[in-house]
Amino acid sequence: MRGIWKWVGLAGVAGVVAGGVLVARDQRRRNAYTPDDIRARLHQRLAEAERTE
């Protein structure tokens, strides 16, 4: 019975680590944009939205 809890705990730790990796990757992707890049993308989206109306 003790071995089962060891595996359950190990799986939990692995899940937390995997979640941290995903959060870090997403944060790096968001930080890669400069304010000028974000502004240009927003202007592009606005122009596309105005064309579809």
1-53 pLDDT per residue, tens:
778 999 999 999 999 999 999 999 999 888 888 889 999 999 999 999 998 87
Domain of residue 52 covers: 21-53
In Å, what is the CA distance from 7 to each residue of 4, 11, 12, 14, 39? 5, 6, 9, 10, 48
36 in a structural domain: yes
Task: Please count the structural domains in the chain.
Answer: 1
Give domain status of residue 5, yes or no: no
> pTM for the full model?
0.52
Task: Give the single-character DSSP code of 34.
Answer: -
**Domain assignment present for 11:** no
Q: Is residue 16 part of a domain?
A: no
Residue 53: strand, helix, or coil = coil
29 belongs to a structural domain: yes
